[in-house]
Amino acid sequence: MIARLSGILIAKQPPQLIVDVHGVGYEVEVPMSTLFRMPALGAAVVLLTHFVVREDAQLLYGFATQAEKNLFREIIKISGIGPKLALAILSGIDVDDFWATVRIGETGRLVKLPGIGKKTAERIVIEMRDKAGADTGSSALGRLESGDIIAASPLAEARAALESLGYKPIEAQKLTDAVTKDGMSTDQIIREALKRAIR
Protein backbone atom coordinates (compact mmCIF):
# COMPACT_ATOMS: atom_id res chain seq x y z
CA MET A 1 0.00 0.00 0.00
CA ILE A 2 1.32 3.44 -0.95
CA ALA A 3 0.13 5.69 1.89
CA ARG A 4 2.06 8.90 1.22
CA LEU A 5 4.05 10.60 -1.53
CA SER A 6 6.67 13.29 -1.03
CA GLY A 7 8.29 14.71 -4.13
CA ILE A 8 8.31 17.42 -6.80
CA LEU A 9 5.15 18.47 -8.61
CA ILE A 10 5.95 18.22 -12.33
CA ALA A 11 2.51 18.36 -14.00
CA LYS A 12 -1.08 19.41 -13.34
CA GLN A 13 -3.84 18.18 -15.63
CA PRO A 14 -7.08 18.29 -13.63
CA PRO A 15 -7.96 16.02 -11.98
CA GLN A 16 -4.49 14.46 -12.27
CA LEU A 17 -1.12 15.43 -10.90
CA ILE A 18 2.28 13.92 -11.63
CA VAL A 19 4.68 13.86 -8.70
CA ASP A 20 8.34 13.00 -9.24
CA VAL A 21 9.68 10.91 -6.37
CA HIS A 22 13.41 10.28 -6.86
CA GLY A 23 13.07 10.01 -10.64
CA VAL A 24 9.80 8.04 -10.68
CA GLY A 25 6.73 9.98 -11.84
CA TYR A 26 3.56 8.97 -9.99
CA GLU A 27 0.25 9.83 -11.66
CA VAL A 28 -2.19 10.75 -8.92
CA GLU A 29 -5.88 11.56 -9.23
CA VAL A 30 -7.02 14.21 -6.77
CA PRO A 31 -10.22 16.04 -5.85
CA MET A 32 -10.38 19.71 -6.84
CA SER A 33 -10.11 20.68 -3.16
CA THR A 34 -6.61 19.18 -3.15
CA LEU A 35 -5.73 20.61 -6.56
CA PHE A 36 -6.50 24.12 -5.32
CA ARG A 37 -3.93 23.69 -2.55
CA MET A 38 -1.09 22.66 -4.83
CA PRO A 39 1.94 24.92 -5.25
CA ALA A 40 3.49 25.94 -8.57
CA LEU A 41 5.12 23.33 -10.79
CA GLY A 42 8.62 22.44 -9.63
CA ALA A 43 7.76 22.86 -5.94
CA ALA A 44 7.88 20.17 -3.27
CA VAL A 45 4.57 18.52 -2.36
CA VAL A 46 3.30 15.97 0.13
CA LEU A 47 0.17 13.95 -0.64
CA LEU A 48 -1.61 11.35 1.47
CA THR A 49 -2.61 8.54 -0.87
CA HIS A 50 -5.01 5.66 -1.34
CA PHE A 51 -3.89 2.89 -3.71
CA VAL A 52 -6.46 0.88 -5.67
CA VAL A 53 -5.65 -2.30 -7.60
CA ARG A 54 -8.16 -3.53 -10.18
CA GLU A 55 -7.96 -6.23 -12.83
CA ASP A 56 -7.39 -3.62 -15.53
CA ALA A 57 -5.57 -0.84 -13.67
CA GLN A 58 -3.59 0.31 -10.65
CA LEU A 59 -4.74 3.74 -9.52
CA LEU A 60 -3.38 6.18 -6.98
CA TYR A 61 -5.60 8.82 -5.38
CA GLY A 62 -4.09 11.75 -3.50
CA PHE A 63 -5.28 14.14 -0.80
CA ALA A 64 -3.92 17.29 0.83
CA THR A 65 -5.47 16.50 4.22
CA GLN A 66 -6.18 13.47 6.37
CA ALA A 67 -9.83 14.54 6.53
CA GLU A 68 -10.19 14.25 2.74
CA LYS A 69 -8.52 10.85 2.68
CA ASN A 70 -10.69 9.58 5.54
CA LEU A 71 -13.88 10.77 3.87
CA PHE A 72 -12.86 9.28 0.51
CA ARG A 73 -12.34 5.90 2.18
CA GLU A 74 -15.70 6.06 3.92
CA ILE A 75 -17.54 7.06 0.73
CA ILE A 76 -16.14 4.23 -1.40
CA LYS A 77 -17.40 1.71 1.17
CA ILE A 78 -20.95 2.62 0.16
CA SER A 79 -22.49 0.21 -2.35
CA GLY A 80 -22.58 1.66 -5.85
CA ILE A 81 -20.04 4.43 -5.21
CA GLY A 82 -16.58 4.06 -6.69
CA PRO A 83 -13.46 6.22 -6.48
CA LYS A 84 -14.41 8.46 -9.43
CA LEU A 85 -17.73 9.42 -7.85
CA ALA A 86 -16.06 9.84 -4.46
CA LEU A 87 -13.62 12.34 -6.02
CA ALA A 88 -16.56 14.21 -7.56
CA ILE A 89 -18.22 14.44 -4.14
CA LEU A 90 -15.03 15.71 -2.49
CA SER A 91 -14.58 18.21 -5.34
CA GLY A 92 -18.09 19.59 -4.94
CA ILE A 93 -18.43 19.88 -1.19
CA ASP A 94 -16.06 20.70 1.67
CA VAL A 95 -15.37 17.87 4.15
CA ASP A 96 -16.93 19.72 7.10
CA ASP A 97 -19.94 20.72 5.00
CA PHE A 98 -20.37 17.11 3.88
CA TRP A 99 -20.52 15.83 7.45
CA ALA A 100 -22.89 18.64 8.45
CA THR A 101 -25.12 17.78 5.47
CA VAL A 102 -25.19 14.10 6.49
CA ARG A 103 -25.95 14.95 10.14
CA ILE A 104 -29.04 16.96 9.22
CA GLY A 105 -30.05 14.61 6.37
CA GLU A 106 -30.01 17.32 3.70
CA THR A 107 -30.08 15.08 0.62
CA GLY A 108 -30.99 18.02 -1.65
CA ARG A 109 -27.47 19.39 -1.48
CA LEU A 110 -25.93 16.02 -2.35
CA VAL A 111 -28.24 15.60 -5.36
CA LYS A 112 -26.69 18.73 -6.89
CA LEU A 113 -23.34 16.94 -7.15
CA PRO A 114 -22.60 15.17 -10.47
CA GLY A 115 -23.57 11.51 -10.55
CA ILE A 116 -25.62 11.67 -7.35
CA GLY A 117 -29.31 10.91 -7.73
CA LYS A 118 -31.96 11.00 -5.03
CA LYS A 119 -31.57 7.32 -4.09
CA THR A 120 -27.79 7.54 -3.91
CA ALA A 121 -28.01 10.69 -1.76
CA GLU A 122 -30.42 8.95 0.61
CA ARG A 123 -28.13 5.92 0.80
CA ILE A 124 -25.15 8.14 1.64
CA VAL A 125 -27.03 9.84 4.45
CA ILE A 126 -28.37 6.57 5.88
CA GLU A 127 -25.05 4.72 5.74
CA MET A 128 -22.88 7.59 6.99
CA ARG A 129 -25.07 9.26 9.59
CA ASP A 130 -23.65 7.14 12.42
CA LYS A 131 -20.13 8.23 11.48
CA ALA A 132 -20.98 11.92 11.14
CA GLY A 133 -20.47 12.57 14.84
CA ALA A 134 -17.05 10.91 14.95
CA ASP A 135 -13.71 12.67 14.65
CA THR A 136 -13.20 13.11 10.92
CA GLY A 137 -9.56 14.21 11.10
CA SER A 138 -9.96 17.69 9.70
CA SER A 139 -6.46 18.92 10.49
CA ALA A 140 -4.54 19.94 7.38
CA LEU A 141 -1.01 18.82 6.54
CA GLY A 142 -0.01 22.43 6.12
CA ARG A 143 -0.81 25.52 4.12
CA LEU A 144 0.00 25.18 0.44
CA GLU A 145 -0.22 27.88 -2.17
CA SER A 146 -2.09 27.63 -5.45
CA GLY A 147 -0.02 27.60 -8.64
CA ASP A 148 -0.49 27.85 -12.36
CA ILE A 149 -1.62 24.95 -14.50
CA ILE A 150 -0.02 24.40 -17.87
CA ALA A 151 -2.89 24.49 -20.32
CA ALA A 152 -3.88 25.74 -23.75
CA SER A 153 -6.71 27.71 -22.14
CA PRO A 154 -7.91 28.00 -18.53
CA LEU A 155 -11.52 27.80 -19.74
CA ALA A 156 -10.91 24.60 -21.73
CA GLU A 157 -9.01 23.03 -18.84
CA ALA A 158 -11.79 23.92 -16.41
CA ARG A 159 -14.43 22.38 -18.67
CA ALA A 160 -12.36 19.20 -19.06
CA ALA A 161 -11.92 18.98 -15.29
CA LEU A 162 -15.67 19.31 -14.68
CA GLU A 163 -16.40 16.66 -17.31
CA SER A 164 -13.92 14.31 -15.63
CA LEU A 165 -15.90 14.77 -12.42
CA GLY A 166 -19.09 13.59 -14.11
CA TYR A 167 -20.69 16.76 -15.44
CA LYS A 168 -22.09 16.48 -18.96
CA PRO A 169 -20.25 18.64 -21.55
CA ILE A 170 -23.21 21.02 -21.89
CA GLU A 171 -23.43 21.37 -18.07
CA ALA A 172 -19.69 22.01 -17.82
CA GLN A 173 -19.95 24.64 -20.56
CA LYS A 174 -22.88 26.42 -18.91
CA LEU A 175 -21.21 26.45 -15.49
CA THR A 176 -17.88 27.75 -16.79
CA ASP A 177 -19.46 30.31 -19.13
CA ALA A 178 -21.51 31.68 -16.23
CA VAL A 179 -18.53 32.34 -13.97
CA THR A 180 -15.54 32.99 -16.26
CA LYS A 181 -14.09 36.49 -16.33
CA ASP A 182 -10.98 37.83 -18.04
CA GLY A 183 -7.78 36.89 -16.26
CA MET A 184 -9.21 34.01 -14.23
CA SER A 185 -7.00 30.95 -13.76
CA THR A 186 -8.19 27.39 -14.29
CA ASP A 187 -8.36 26.89 -10.51
CA GLN A 188 -10.53 29.97 -10.06
CA ILE A 189 -12.92 28.97 -12.85
CA ILE A 190 -13.32 25.44 -11.44
CA ARG A 191 -13.82 26.74 -7.90
CA GLU A 192 -16.50 29.24 -8.94
CA ALA A 193 -18.22 26.72 -11.23
CA LEU A 194 -18.43 24.16 -8.42
CA LYS A 195 -19.85 26.77 -6.05
CA ARG A 196 -22.49 27.68 -8.64
CA ALA A 197 -23.34 24.01 -9.26
CA ILE A 198 -24.41 23.35 -5.67
CA ARG A 199 -26.38 26.56 -5.07
pLDDT at 150: 36
Rounded to whole angstroms, how far apart are CA atoms 130 and 81?
18
- Greater confidence (158 vs 31) lies with 31
Fold of 66-131: DNA polymerase; domain 1 (1.10.150)
Domain ranges of the chain: 4-63, 66-131, 154-197
pLDDT at 133: 61
Angle, helix 118-128 to helix 95-104, in steps of 10 degrees: 90
The CA-to-CA distance between both ends of the chain, in Å, stands at 38
154-197: CATH architecture:
Orthogonal Bundle (1.10)
Which CATH architecture describes the domain 4-63?
Beta Barrel (2.40)
- Contact criterion met (CB below 8 Å) for 142 and 64: no
| pLDDT > 80? residue 123 | yes
The pLDDT, as a whole number, for residue 21 is: 95
Reply yes or no on whether the pLDDT at 127 is more than 60.
yes
Q: Which residues, at least 6 apart from 88, have a Cβ–Cβ distance to it below 8 Å?
A: 113, 114, 115, 116, 165, 166
Q: Structure pTM?
A: 0.69
Check pLDDT > 90 for residue 105: no
Distance, CA of 125 to CA of 122 (rounded, Å)? 5
- For range 171-194, the mean pLDDT: 87
| Mean pLDDT confidence for 37-54 | 93
